[in-house]
Each structure stands twice: as C-alpha cells, then as structure tokens.
Structure 1
Amino acid sequence: MNFLIRKANQDDMQEVLSLIKELALFEKEPDEVEVSREELISDGFGDEKSFCCFVAEVESKIIGMALFYPRYSTWKGKVLHLEDLIVSEKFRGKGIGYALFSKFINYAHKKKVRRVQWVVLDWNASAIKFYKRSGGEILDDWRVTIMNRNSIKKFIDSESI
C-alpha cells in the first residue's frame, strides 16, 4: 500500500479531529472529546503553537496521525510527549503506525531531545507490544495524574475561601 507521511496543515484538522474521535471511541471514552476543529487550527497553527502533528495519507485521505508537543524535564532537558498515535482501523497492520512513529522519533532526534514519552492504556496489548518492540520502556512505578476543567475550577474556587 502506498502512503505518504507528512507534516499536518490547517486543512487537515477536520480529518485529524475525526481520528481523535475514532481513538476516543476505541479507548471507550467517546464523549470525552471537547476540542473543536477551530481549536486545533488555532492551537496548532496560531501564534502560540501548542502541538505538532504528522499525518499519514492514502489517496488524499488522512488515515493516521501522530500528535505531539514539547515538554521540559528538570532532569533531562528537552522532551517530546507523543499525545496520540492512531491509524484508522481498516488501515492497521500495514506499517503506517510504524512509519508515523518513526517520523516522530526522527523528528525528536533532529530536535536533540533527551527523551520521548507517552502513555498507553494497560489493556491495549497491541500498542504495548508495539512500543516495547520499538524500544519503549513501560514504567510500573509512575502514575498519570490529571485535573479536568471542573477540578481546576474547584481548586481555584477553594483557594479564595
């Protein structure tokens, strides 16, 4: 199968959003996607870019993506965080995910980052196998901690008491 891996542009964001929604469905969280096409455009291509994205294209259709952003480690320095790596279900198993991941890793190397990182759901056996085979290390002693919008507001409101 012929496919092209390239840097995403603004015109790709509707299809990128569709992939994000497909991933949310796969991860059993279909109602959690709040971001809009317009936000993806302003956040990825505005004055203060929040992320970078590579897409996989087959016959002018976006069928995969790797979306990532910079972080900073006080121990390591520059880090890139891979937020999502997804290939549409019917295109999986054809090397497209590997090609997207390879593009991301090569970009990280070019940017001289000291670490790349990402999270993977503990039940996603195929992704875990892929990441381990690619040289990724699954850490058992760290936990992901989040605060959603409501938790942030509740924290701020409690400070003013």
Structure 2
Amino acid sequence: MNIRRGNPEDMNAVLGLIQELADYEKEPDAVLITAKDLIRDGFGDIPLFQVFVAEVDSEIVGIALYYYRYSTWKGKIIHLEDLVVKEKMRGTGLGLALYTEIIKQGKKDQVKRIDWHVLDWNSPAIDFYEKSGAKVLRDWDVVQMDEIGIDNFLQNI
C-alpha cells in the first residue's frame, strides 16, 4: 500500500470513489461534479481541496479529501470531506492509514481541530471514530442550502 498526495491525473479514479461513496450513502444520483471540475478546483491557482490517495498494485483504492476552514473560536481547522475505501479493500487497514495521514497533516499544520460528518446510521464508522478518540457530536444538526434554496431566498428577500 502506498499513500501519497493526489495529482490531476488521479481525478478520474477519485471521482469513481466519490461515486462509490454516494452509492453507499444511498444517493447514487447526487454526484454532479466531473473529473474536469476536480482538476480545476483542486489544482488551480487557489486550490479548494487537497487529497491523499491510497494505491495498491498501482490502483487507487482509497482517498481522503480535505480542505481548510477557520473557526472563530479555535482558529485553523481541517474539514475531512470524504474518506473512501473501495468496498473490496475495506477491513485491510487502508482506511486507518488514510485517517492517520489526515491526523498527521493536522498535526503538521498545527490545526486546532479536524471536523467531518458521519451519517447516523453508519454504525461501523461511528464506532471506529469513537474508538480512535474522536467525539461524535450528536446534539448538532447539519444545515445546508442548495442552489434552489439560494435562488428562492434571494428572490424572496
């Protein structure tokens, strides 16, 4: 297993893993981005994300995609957007290796916190995170406004 920083040539494989995650989370039609979007957004003048990829036998079989945020209470933080391991590779330690890489990156960058979301029905992930020392904040709700909501809001103010 080799974990390294992703590059533009990896984005087709990264997109495939993002789609695999969407399928697992019962949202198969939710992925709207393309590999071209990932290349533009991750490798342009101001990259919007960074990604570690895990390779086995020259095949990308896992990713940890993250970006930086700022907490007005704590300062610089990392948001782990997706940690995905191909189904055939789950249980091999690959997920732990990617997770460890993110935590090492947070330590290197001296962030005050690393945040991510987990679906409340994903018990294996929740158990893994709690055993690792992470806190699952069950009293917080995620709030989002999609493009339709944005348009509706702006048209009605």
Match of 1:50 in 2: 48
CA deviation vs aligned residue, 1:120-145 (integer Å, no higher than 9, x gap): 00000110011111111011211100
Residues of 2 paired with 1:153 and 1:40: CA distance? 24
Tell me if 1:124 matches 2:116. Answer: no
* d(CA) in 2 for partners of 1:100, 1:139: 22
Q: Partner of 1:138: helix, strand, or coil? A: coil
Secondary structure class of the residue paired with 1:67: strand
- CA offsets 1:92-129 (integer angstroms, 9 cap, x no match): 10100000000000001100000001010000011001
Matched residue of 2:100: which SS? helix
Match of 2:89 in 1: 91
Q: Choose which of 78, 81, 84 in structure 2 pairs with 1:80.
A: 78
Counterpart residue identity of residue 39, structure 1? D
> What residue is the counterpart of 1:25 in the other structure?
23
Question: Of 51, 58, 61, which aligns to 1:60?
Answer: 58
Q: Structure 2-normalised TM-score?
A: 0.98
Ranges in structure 1 where 5+ consecutive residues have no aligned partner: none
Note the residue ranges of structure 2 that are not aligned, 5 or more in a row: none
- CA RMSD, Structure 1 to Structure 2 (Å): 0.6
**Identity over aligned pairs, percent:** 52
1:143 paired residue number: 141
- SS of equivalent to 2:156: helix
Q: Which amino acid aligns with 1:117?
A: D
CA distance in 1, matches of 2:91, 2:138: 27
How many residue pairs get aligned? The number is: 157
Per-residue deviation, residues 34-77 of structure 1 (Å, max 9, x unmatched): 11111100100001210010000011110000000000000000
Letter in 1 for 2:128: F
